[in-house]
């Protein structure tokens, strides 16, 4: 078993954890980092026990593109990103192009990542429609 020091990804608090990993890369459990400046050895129940999703069979492992009949098909990242860029370009064209785009960020991101998402939305995509999954 090896212990990998990292940051809990469940919320923006940023608690310090060790992921205990078997030789075949199976996650065996989580233990807190007792010297971590934020959490000082304490974790909430999500931090301690919330790692089953990593190997969950329902987890998406590639982008999906909705087809005309409403079903989804797997796509490469290049194709998916091109579709996103095409959609964003279309939404930003024309005179009345403000607030056609909304951006939803995540409670699992760090504050810095959420700041960058808001900056991208306001300065890059010209929208003030920015929200966060914790309000949904
Ligand atoms: S252990 Fe709990 S409080 Fe700490 S980052 Fe993870 S989810 Fe947030």
Q: Is residue 32 part of a domain?
A: yes
Q: Is residue 79 part of a domain?
A: no
The count of domains in the chain is 2
The CA-based angle 101-124-128, given to 5 degrees, is: 45
CA-to-CA distance for 120 and 113, rounded, in angstroms?
10
Indicate the pTM of the whole model: 0.66
**Partners of 83 in the β-ladder:** none
Tokens of 103: 């951006």
Q: Whose CA is nearest to atom 7 of ligand 1?
A: 10
Q: Is residue 67 part of a domain?
A: no
Q: Is residue 71 part of a domain?
A: no
Q: Is residue 130 part of a domain?
A: yes
Within the chain, residue ranges assigned H as helices are 45-49, 77-92, 111-119
Q: What is the CATH number of the domain that holds 15?
A: 2.20.25.90
Question: What does the mean pLDDT of the chain come to?
Answer: 90
> What one-character-per-residue DSSP string does 66-94 give?
E-TTS-EEE--HHHHHHHHHHHHHHHH-S
Do the beta carbons of residue 123 and residue 117 sit within 8 Å? no
Range of the domain at 106: 98-136
Q: Is residue 120 part of a domain?
A: yes
Q: Whose CA is nearest to atom 6 of ligand 1?
A: 47
Residues with CB under 6 A from ligand 1: 8, 10-11, 13-15, 39, 43-44, 46-47
Q: Is residue 84 part of a domain?
A: no
Q: How far is ligand 1, taken at its centre, from the CA of residue 48, in Å?
A: 8
pLDDT in tens, 26-79: 999 999 999 999 999 999 999 999 898 888 999 999 999 999 999 999 999 999
Q: Is residue 133 part of a domain?
A: yes
């Amino acid at each position: 078993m090896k212990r990998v020091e990292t940051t809990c990804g469940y919320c923006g608090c940023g608690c310090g954890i060790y992921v205990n990993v078997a030789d075949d890369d199976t996650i065996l459990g989580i233990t807190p980092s007792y010297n971590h400046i934020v959490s000082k050895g304490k974790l909430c129940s999500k931090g301690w026990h919330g790692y089953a999703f990593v190997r969950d069979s329902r987890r998406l492992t590639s982008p999906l593109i909705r087809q005309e009949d409403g079903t989804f098909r797997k796509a490469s990242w290049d194709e998916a990103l091109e579709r996103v860029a095409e959609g964003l370009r279309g939404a930003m064209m024309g005179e009345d192009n403000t607030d056609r785009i909304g951006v939803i960020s995540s409670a699992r991101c760090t504050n810095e990542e959420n700041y960058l998402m808001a900056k991208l939305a306001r300065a890059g995509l010209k929208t003030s429609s920015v929200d966060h999954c914790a309000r949904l």
